[in-house]
Structure 1
């Protein structure tokens, strides 16, 4: 037989201890092998502030939940009260509806009660009771196609037809009388309207005639006044034209009086719109001053040309000096570039020799992956 070992209490405790140590080792390894916590550390004030914020948020949430629960209790109580009131109101309305139906909507008061009367058969008379032909209880009371109330129904239909015809005749007579009255009233209204329209037309024609006469008299008065005013304006214009012609003929402008151009601000000043030109003496002075101005302008122009030539010569000499300095700077830059290239080549050779030395002498024993794998395998 196969013998199985049964685990006792001590084995279970030992297994629990091993599992607890294994979990602790995994947690310790996750903390120690975490490069961020090992190199940077944990921001304790920030964590404390987060804990405080979480606690405050938790307290605020508890307060809100408590307030919400209290409000829910109040709302529930209010809902219970309102529901009780609603049920009471519905019960009261139901009682009133039942009382109204019992008092005013009874089954026997309905219009179609004779169709739904459960005792209608008990209340009906036998079909053969009207024709005086007695039959027994076990005999057939009525056959298919038999009409026992034909005579009575025929009389009723004839009387009803006569009543309908009489009613139609009366209605037609009343409608005809109403139509005649409406036509008479309409004709009277048309006649009154036509009479009023003709009266208003006569009044309008009379008003237009009077208004035309008044406009004609007013226009005649305006024409006479306009004609008189035009005559006065024409006479005034003729007088003004004659005076203007005389004034122009005798004015200083046409007579060219030189004294009228003299200004009150000095003897050398003249009034522009009355000035008639210079005399011979003034013309001689003007021409002499003009020649002097021309000579001064010529001398100024020659001096400016001489100065411009000197500036051009100076600019050319500066350009030549700048070109010579640029050539010298280019030569110096080429020499510096050549020296720099030689120094870079020498440094490159030295770097290659240094790398060769490190590779062949210093770094000849390169560690493998097995060498690194033996580290950080446990926290102890």
Structure 2
């Protein structure tokens, strides 16, 4: 036959190499104690670290932007405050200048009173700011001021005198009214005193009539009470006599018994009963003695029955003690037998352990024996 060079199949070798590489990676993952115990996912952890760093970077940038915005706002507010102060100072300066130029004290209408100026202002400069229309006090004014003041004083005195006369007339009228009112009050007091005297006389007459009526009623009531007292005394004497002569006081035994129809025994009336007869008392004593004897016989019977019960209990307790002693003896024998069995088992166990240690398990494993395990991922 002819020798033919066939191409080598590389797929098998590649498959073997892939399996070898997968086995190596599998061993690296399985035999790594940290990964096998904790089960860490490095890719997920790295991704979390990257996300955390990105988030921190974003927060730092945001804080920087906020700080920059706050500085800008602070500078704007400071500049606005400075501008407002400058405007206020300029406005105050202009206002002060206006007051000094156009609203002087000496230019006011009462400057002659406040500043002590008399007469018209002199106009000397052709271009002066004050003209003839600005003059308020002229020469020649104030003539006859003294005469006017005297007339004003006279008028004031006249008015005061008239007012005083009006007050005096008013005072006289008020005194006249007070006198008339006082007279009217005196007349009213007199009428009231007279009326009060008449009322007192009427009340006195009424009291006298009422006293007479009460005396008559008291006399009538006293007569009725005396009649009632005499009637009660009579009734009391009759009741006392009836009580003294009644069956209750005479202690009649037949009075305390009431006959009953139908042949039944007579019924005793408790409100009339005075006690038992000697025959009844002797019958009661005989019945009581018979009851005492019966009670004595019952006590003797109970004592004999209790003695029999005590004897029975004593016998039962003795039998229970004997049974307890037999049970204790049996338990002691069982415990001794169990101790002997345990000692025998202990000797056998010790002998078996010596056999295992000295004869059976004599070939101890070396390190090479343990190294042959867990060398593959399968």
Length-normalised TM-score, structure 1: 0.46
TM-score (norm 2): 0.47
Determine which structure has greater relative contact order: mean sequence separation of CA pairs < 8 Å that are 6+ residues apart, divided by chain length: 1
